[in-house]
Chain A
């Protein structure tokens, strides 16, 4: 369960890194908001790296 949660958080991190850029491209999201979402994506992707997954 914990592993699944970590995996979901990391997947959300990657999604927040890439997907908002497409919304900026289509004009549905502000350029600066994208930067904030990318920062959140960075935290979500690297944050779980500090927790060791259960084997």
Chain B
């Protein structure tokens, strides 16, 4: 499941963006290795143990701690993030769908829609994706499972086949070419420079909402043991390691052929390397992940509007997603968006962690909203909003980039939630 879910359309964007940000080969390989190991450990030691002890979804756990209304706010934020994430996947698919029509592609520096034909293509892809999502989850899930092993091999095969174009004809040539032509250490025009630490923290935190943020409690609650968290390594080291390296290699070939053009379109890049299979891979990878993401966003919105019909909500969510997908900024700034997505939802994971492990040891009450019949737990709300406020302050005042804010943010959330509860619960015991 993890390998399929983490080999998505966005992998065709993230690998190239590392190249565009001028990361060096050793920084990328080392940063991805340690970042992915930390991500797997987060799933195994943070999410897994709570998931198998509680055996409830994240949303139910949040209702117990935070109250129904605060959970609804969380659901809305989550749904919005899901819409943008699915939007980026639709954008990626649209670059492949547009190949036969010679669709003008956006550049790395573009934020707004670049042509009418781009908007039409995105709407066509968005419409199909949304209609399928309204029909339910089962068929999409089946297609995704069938496609997963094939997609992984397409990534690998495409990268191996283009290596001779970069001058790699023997395995021993690879490292020299990797440094000279692929991950050169020089960012493209208008792009910031990435280091080992950028790569490590991005690899660790790109799924922060899922592990540290505890969203995968919903998945791991079915696991026999907390050790099932280690199975996330399948997704990390296939999707977030080899697929990112492979798509980076494909992008380097494109840059060489186009003389460092700023055009950025995963579809034509994959089509050049692997022909029809490559373009199909981009479409399927984007579609199979955009579809369940829209469906999940629909469910999150439905939690806010419980009397509305699922298909109607999914249709509206699909429209929002498609509108978002029209903006190339979503793809060009995907690294920042993914980091923001994790950061926004992370404080709730810290709250659950402290509530579950530390409160009983300190003799203070866990699951406060459930116990006191609260719809809104102010200590949790304060923790969430203040943590994000502190992260914005650190970003603005000290210029710390968004990729690095998750770590101090987690400790800030722990400190605020613990402190506020110690004060509040002792006062109102």
Q: List residues of A whose CB falls within 8 A of some B CB.
A: 13-14, 17-18, 20-22, 24-25, 27, 31-32, 34-36, 38-39, 41-42, 45-46, 49
Number of interface residues of B (CB under 8 A): 23
Question: B326 an interface residue at 8 Å Cβ cutoff?
Answer: no
In the complex the two chains form, is A42's CB within 8 Å of B150's CB?
yes
Given A39-B276, A39-B277, are A17 and B153 neighbors across the interface (CB < 8 Å)?
yes
Given A14-B153, A38-B274, A42-B277, are A24 and B146 neighbors across the interface (CB < 8 Å)?
no
In the complex the two chains form, is A41's CB within 8 Å of B277's CB?
yes
Q: Nearest CB to that of B159 among chain A residues?
A: A21
Q: Nearest CB to that of B165 among chain A residues?
A: A31
Question: B154 an interface residue at 8 Å Cβ cutoff?
Answer: yes
Given A35-B275, A42-B280, are A17 and B150 neighbors across the interface (CB < 8 Å)?
yes
CA distance A34 to B147 in the complex (A): 20
Question: B149 an interface residue at 8 Å Cβ cutoff?
Answer: yes
User: B333 to nearest A CB, angstroms?
Assistant: 31
List 28 A–B pairs whose Cβ atoms lie within 8 Å, in order of A's numbering.
A14-B149, A14-B150, A14-B153, A17-B150, A17-B154, A18-B157, A20-B157, A21-B158, A21-B161, A24-B164, A25-B160, A25-B163, A25-B164, A25-B168, A25-B169, A27-B169, A32-B275, A35-B275, A35-B278, A38-B275, A38-B278, A39-B277, A41-B150, A42-B277, A45-B146, A45-B150, A46-B146, A46-B150
Instruction: List the B side residues contacting A39 at CB < 8 Å.
Output: 275-277
In the complex the two chains form, is B277's CB within 8 Å of A38's CB?
yes
Question: B37 an interface residue at 8 Å Cβ cutoff?
Answer: no
Chain B binding surface SS class: helix
Chain A binding surface SS class: helix
Instruction: List the B side residues contacting A21 at CB < 8 Å.
Output: 156-158, 160-161
Instruction: List the A side residues contacting B149 at CB < 8 Å.
Output: 14
CA distance A1 to B154 in the complex (A): 29
In the complex, which of the residues A13, A17, A36 contacts B157, with contact meaning CB atoms closer than 8 Å? Answer: A17
Instruction: List the B side residues contacting A25 at CB < 8 Å.
Output: 160-161, 163-164, 168-169
CA distance A31 to B161 in the complex (A): 7
CA distance A18 to B158 in the complex (A): 8
Instruction: List the A side residues contacting B156 at CB < 8 Å.
Output: 18, 21
Q: Nearest CB to that of B169 among chain A residues?
A: A27
Instruction: List the A side residues contacting B154 at CB < 8 Å.
Output: 17, 38
Instruction: List the A side residues contacting B147 at CB < 8 Å.
Output: 46
- Lowest 9 A-B CB distances belong to which pairs? A35-B275, A21-B157, A38-B277, A21-B160, A21-B161, A24-B161, A42-B277, A18-B153, A17-B153
Instruction: List the A side residues contacting B169 at CB < 8 Å.
Output: 25, 27
Q: Nearest CB to that of B154 among chain A residues?
A: A17
In the complex the two chains form, is A24's CB within 8 Å of B160's CB?
yes
Q: Nearest CB to that of B142 among chain A residues?
A: A49
CA distance A14 to B149 in the complex (A): 8
Instruction: List the A side residues contacting B280 at CB < 8 Å.
Output: 42
CA distance A32 to B274 in the complex (A): 9
CA distance A35 to B153 in the complex (A): 13
In the complex the two chains form, is A13's CB within 8 Å of B150's CB?
yes
Fill in one digit per residue for B143-181: 1 if any A CB lies within 8 Å of its CB, else 0. Answer: 100110110011011101101110011000000000000
In the complex the two chains form, is A42's CB within 8 Å of B160's CB?
no
Extra pairs beyond A31-B165, A38-B274, A45-B150 (12, CB < 8 Å) = A13-B150, A14-B149, A14-B150, A21-B156, A21-B161, A25-B160, A34-B161, A35-B275, A36-B275, A41-B277, A46-B150, A49-B146
